[in-house]
Chains A and B, each alone.
Chain A
Amino acid sequence: MEARLKFRETQIGKQFYKNMLANEAVLHHGPAPVATMELMKIRASQINGCGHCVDMHVKDAAYAGETSERLALVAAWREAPYFTEPERAALALTEEACRLADEPGGVSDEVWAEVQKHYDDEQAAALVAALAQINAWNRINVTLRNPAGGYDPAEKAKRYKSTP
């Protein structure tokens, strides 16, 4: 299986990718917990059926020490005992913010109130930005059928370590 287009080898793709990665670095070193954002990225990528992104974020999460029980239950987290109240608020936000299509309700007041209960404005902004980023990545990788399975989490960990 090969991607439909080598996105990063186009001029526009290269520049876009660079900017998206700069956004990711801002979020990685930002006010919201990285482990929570990984859960959100996994859930969004599952909903959007993005194999490339699920592979990446499951591996990133495991590399950072996430347990296999939590990783297995992200896809159906509601009755699982493994997630904290702030994490559950972030996952509820993720689901509603991903399922926008043709849905006038968007993100409900109930879900947003839960987010505000557990996160301050800076953190909430980071969560919203993280969701915008992962949904953008999902679109690129699903549209281009970017193959999954080849991702190595050590590389990203090294990059973030060298740019504090």
Chain B
Amino acid sequence: MTIRLNPAEVETLPKIWKALAAAGKPMQSQDLVPRSTLELVNLRASQINGCSFCTDMHTKDMAHAGEQAERIAMVAAWREAPYFTEPERAALLLAEEATRIADGDTGVSDEVWAEVRKHYDENQAAVLIGQIAMTNAWNRFNVILQNPAGNYTPGQWG
């Protein structure tokens, strides 16, 4: 399997990716929301969008950061799992509704937003939204381009 557009040949692609990565910096560089929570959000969105490349990357990043195998395995069906805190569950709820906004769905419900605000202040909620937006954007690139998964090494992009 090969990527549909080769970033080594199509020079516009790495330019866009660089800008997109820069847009993700505010979520990464602040300690407003735990990194582990943002990774749960990244993984859940990537699973829903069927993004192999991102699922490979985030599961490896999580394991590298010391995340438990049980928690990683259960992100795809987290509701009845005993492994996630109430704030993490609120973030996962938001990730699911915010990722499934396509055609005919009703967006993010008041119930889910209330759960989010119970556990996160305005700035933290903004980080969550930013992270979900970023992950969904990366998912689009990698799914559309059929970017092959399996070669990621944690820390390869600094």
Residues of A within 8 A of B (CB): 1, 45-46, 48-55, 58, 68-69, 71-73, 75-82, 141, 145-149
Contact = CB atoms under 8 A, between A and B. Distances in A.
B39 interface: no
Contacts of B81: 51, 55, 148-149
Please provide the 9 A-B residue pairs with the shortest distance between their CB atoms, ordered closest to farther.
Answer: A51-B80, A79-B52, A72-B59, A76-B55, A75-B47, A46-B76, A54-B77, A51-B77, A81-B150
Given A72-B59, A76-B49, 7 more contacts: A48-B77, A49-B77, A51-B74, A51-B79, A72-B73, A79-B146, A145-B79
Given A69-B150, A81-B150, A75 B82 contact: no
A101 to B, nearest CB: 13
Contacts of A145: 79-80
Contacts of B69: 68
A132 B128 CA distance: 37
B78 to A, nearest CB: 7
A148 B52 contact: no
B80 A147 contact: yes
Contacts of B79: 49, 51, 145
Contact of B74 (A54, A76, A77): A54
A11 B118 CA distance: 42
A79 B83 contact: no
